[in-house]
Amino acid sequence: MERLQTALDKARKKRAGEITEDPQVLRETSAPSLPVGVSEAWSNLAEIRLDRSLLQHNRLVAMDSSGESSAYDLLRTKLLRLSRQHGWKRIAIVSSAMSAGKSTTITNLAFSFARQTDVRAMAFDFDLRRPSMARLLGQRLSSNMGQVIRGEVPFEHHVMRHGMNMAFALNDTASRHSSELLQNHETADLLTAVEETYATDLILFDMPPLMAADDAHGFLRSVDAALIVMEAEKTPISQLDVIERQVAELTNVAGVVLNKCNYTDELYGTSYGYY
Ligand SMILES: Nc1ncnc2c1ncn2[C@@H]1O[C@H](COP(=O)(O)OP(=O)(O)OP(=O)(O)O)[C@@H](O)[C@H]1O
Ligand SMILES: [Mg+2]
């Protein structure tokens, strides 16, 4: 708890120009060995309790390696390669319209990343309008992301870990002024502090649809890349062109997931495509 608070104070001071990064510190944190206190910070997080039959019912199939998880594992591996190649640390999952499958994709991806134990990752529900990851995972929460961002609830009291290398920052309450909240300095400082405290290699963000609100448009400037989820057979190619251009103006495009696709390579045995 103290560690995250110290990191938050540091993030605030850095943003205010009160301190500059000590090159020595930079060298140390980018060293392959784990910075002091990181394992302890992860151990102190509460472990998420999951009901496998509920996960299956909600199309969350990537907790174990299987034929069903293979498309998500492939996506994970491609994202990881791109992230390492470009130094990406934050990836948002976006779609143009509603119900493309963003929340299902990010949650499955999170389970797939959890099995990649040399990578520390987190999945944030930043759909502050219609959050759904908590419901998909069958979690009742006693606090919400709005409270965490505003500093009313400590991050480490809210977030839950799955294993020692994946954590879920869930939400079950819509926040007023969600777009402004995601773009304010409190969100920026929180993310910087979380990255430092937990030495995350990657943070994934679930977002509301781009067409529904300006939340994602505003927040995309704070991420390194976005993965576009597109509902096959419902999204016209012209719409994909538009969304790709929109996203590319704000951040890097990590790729496009062709979801709910009836015609796929049987090698992967699921309804996912990716290019
Ligand atoms: N690959 C898939 N095959 C079939 N159904 C799917 C697939 N992925 C998601 N779905 C279903 O589509 C619906 C919408 O999924 P999900 O909530 O993940 O979309 P979303 O893009 O997050 O929606 P929203 O825009 O409302 O946040 C859910 O009923 C989900 O079970
Ligand atoms: Mg969603």
Ligand 1 proximity of 264 Cβ (cutoff 6 Å): no
2-28+36-274 is a CATH 3.30.2290.10 domain: no
Asked whether the predicted pLDDT for residue 186 surpasses 70, the reply is: yes
Ligand 1 proximity of 235 Cβ (cutoff 6 Å): no
Ligand 1 proximity of 107 Cβ (cutoff 6 Å): no
Whole-angstrom CA distances from 179 to 73, 91, 175, 225 are 31, 18, 9, 18
CA of 76 to the centre of ligand 1 (A): 18
CA of 102 to the centre of ligand 2 (A): 5
Closest ligand, as measured to the CA of 75: 1
Ligand 1 proximity of 99 Cβ (cutoff 6 Å): yes
Give the mean model confidence (pLDDT) for residues 198-210.
Answer: 97
Give the mean model confidence (pLDDT) for residues 105-128.
Answer: 98
CA of 99 to the centre of ligand 1 (A): 5
Q: Determine the pLDDT at residue 32.
A: 54
Question: Rounded CA gap, 108 and 71, in Å?
Answer: 10
Which residue's CA is the closest to the ligand 1 atom numbered 19?
A: 101
Helix/strand/coil for 258: strand
Whole-angstrom CA distances from 38 to 34, 102, 179, 201, 217 are 7, 29, 31, 12, 32
Domain ranges for the chain: 2-28+36-274
Which residue's CA is the closest to the ligand 1 atom numbered 23?
A: 99
Partners of residue 225 on adjacent β-strands: 91, 252
Which sign, positive or negative, has the C-alpha torsion 132, 133, 137, 138? negative
- For the whole model, what pTM was predicted? 0.90
Ligand 1 proximity of 59 Cβ (cutoff 6 Å): yes
**Nearest-atom index, ligand 1, CA of 97:** 25
pLDDT tens digits, residue range 19-50?
765 544 444 444 457 888 999 999 999 999 99
**Nearest-atom index, ligand 1, CA of 209:** 25
**Nearest-atom index, ligand 1, CA of 136:** 17
Average pLDDT of the chain to the nearest whole number: 90
CB 58 within 8 A of CB 101: no
Give the mean model confidence (pLDDT) for residues 97-124.
Answer: 97
Asked whether the predicted pLDDT for residue 233 surpasses 90, the reply is: no
Burial of 93 from C-beta contacts in 10 A (0-12 / 13-18 / 19+) = buried
CA of 147 to the centre of ligand 2 (A): 20
pLDDT tens digits, residue range 51-91?
999 999 999 999 999 999 999 999 999 999 999 999 999 99
- Please identify which residue in the block is written with the tokens 């493309």: 100
171 token code pair: 């939400």
Asked whether the predicted pLDDT for residue 1 surpasses 70, the reply is: no
